[in-house]
Amino acid sequence: MNCIQCVNIKKDSTCIPCKLYHCTLIGTKFSCSHKRTGGEGLSAKDSMAKEYFADNARFADLCNNILYGGREVILPENLKERDTTEVLTALGLDKKTIAMQKMRDIFKNASIKYTGKSYVVLIGVENQSDIHYAIPVKNMFYDVMAYGNQVKETAKKHRKEKDTATSDEFLSGFTKEDKLIPVITITVYLGTKEWDGPRKLSDMFGDVDEELLPFIPDYRINLLAPREITDFTGFRTSIRQLFEVLKNAYDKEKMQEVLQNDEKFSKVDRETVEAINLFAGTDIDIDEKEEVIDMCKAWEDQKNEGREEGRELGERQKIISLIVKKLQKDKSVAEIADDLEEKEEVIAPIYEAALSMKPDYDVEKIYELLEKNKKLA
């Protein structure tokens, strides 16, 4: 079996490079309709988010906050990985098998013991680093496929055991006693902008006759957007620190306040700091040997380094400005070096760069040229 665009196929008909995208299997050929990032596989943000939230402790923490208001109901040890591939098959008009394949980000089986009862639910998490303006349709499709697979597996079991009692049950592949496992999909928005996308299917409609609305099924997404969280105390893992930073990433003063007033930032695991750097756009230094980072100190060190770099930049531009003034008076490199009490080898490259900017002598452009030449050297 050959993938038209991606070539490499496993025996189970999974397109390896496309494994995390949308592939359609038609007959015995793949037609891939995914959007690639960087040519191969997932983007850095997608990969990071999948790995980060796949951790059972973080996954349980995430679910408990959006589903149970922060109460510790779903336990990490009661979560079990499920195949993230959803495939539905049907016979086309030409009698050939048509299969639709989708790949979720994360999909787990949750066994829940609550209020004296036991429940099982399937929970999927879809990570969005950008706003998706068709997210209700995307998530609805995942859920429909998950339910469709349950019906298909149930029908397969009945065919094997030949235990359907009526023709209706036989045709349905599903009996009156059969039950579906509920499916919940949570969308985690990891962007720093306000979410302005749809929150339910009906948000995507244009004008609709109000009399028709009761007959049109709606679909609501379960959205977790850090910018909308007002209380982070319900989080028990380091996703609290990630979400707090994402909420305040647009305002450096608020970020500073959060870091100074929350002692939890003094001990943040390496994976969370890496996630913060990637999703919030920060540049916190992480020592290769460090597994726990004091973000308060790292943030302050970064600010101090920024001030020092600013001072160095100011001093460098001041020297350039002095050299330009003397250059405009037709002074030589030796004369300028003597006037400024500097070595000629320090003055010469600045002199040449300034000379190339004649007659404007733009100090910032001269500085940029010097930096560029330094990198090329």
**pLDDT tens-digit readout, 215-261:** 999 999 999 999 999 999 999 999 999 999 999 888 878 887 888 77
> Which residues lie across from 7 on neighbouring strands?
3
Mean pLDDT of 362-372: 84
Q: In this structure, what token pair is assigned to residue 88?
A: 């539905």
Mean pLDDT of 104-120: 92
pLDDT for residue 287 is more than 70: yes
Mean pLDDT of 72-79: 95
Mean pLDDT of 92-97: 70
Q: In sequence order, what are the residues at sequence separation of 6 or more whose Cβ sits closer than 8 angstroms to the Cβ of residue 9?
A: 1, 2, 3, 15, 16, 30
Mean pLDDT of 278-304: 77
Q: Mean pLDDT of all residues in the chain?
A: 82
Output the pLDDT for position 211: 95
* Three-state SS at 258: helix
Kindly indicate the confidence band of residue 111, based on its pLDDT and cuts at 50, 70 and 90: very high
71, amino acid identity = R
pLDDT for residue 299 is more than 80: no
Output the pLDDT for position 189: 96
Question: Measured in Å, how far apart are the chain's first and last C-alpha atoms?
Answer: 52
Output the pLDDT for position 155: 93
> Which residues lie across from 15 on neighbouring strands?
9
353, amino acid identity = A
pLDDT for residue 373 is more than 90: no
Q: In sequence order, what are the residues at sequence separation of 6 or more whose Cβ sits closer than 8 angstroms to the Cβ of residue 134?
A: 198, 204
Cα distance between residue 294 and residue 144, in whole Å: 44
Output the pLDDT for position 301: 65
Most confident of 96-110, 146-160, 261-275, 280-294: 146-160
pLDDT for residue 68 is more than 70: yes
CB 114 within 8 A of CB 72: no
Kindly indicate the confidence band of residue 359, based on its pLDDT and cuts at 50, 70 and 90: confident
267 vs 310, higher pLDDT? 267
Mean pLDDT of 97-102: 72
Mean pLDDT of 62-87: 91
Most confident of 30-39, 160-169, 279-288, 351-360: 160-169
301 vs 66, higher pLDDT? 66
Measured over the CA atoms of residue 59, residue 65, residue 66 and residue 69, the dihedral's sign is positive
Kindly indicate the confidence band of residue 346, based on its pLDDT and cuts at 50, 70 and 90: confident
Among 124-138, 186-200, 359-373, the minimum mean pLDDT is found in 359-373
Output the pLDDT for position 315: 76
Give backbone dihedrals phi and psi of 163, rounded to 5 degrees, phi first.
Answer: -115, 15
Output the pLDDT for position 330: 84
| % the chain with pLDDT above 70 | 81
Output the pLDDT for position 313: 66
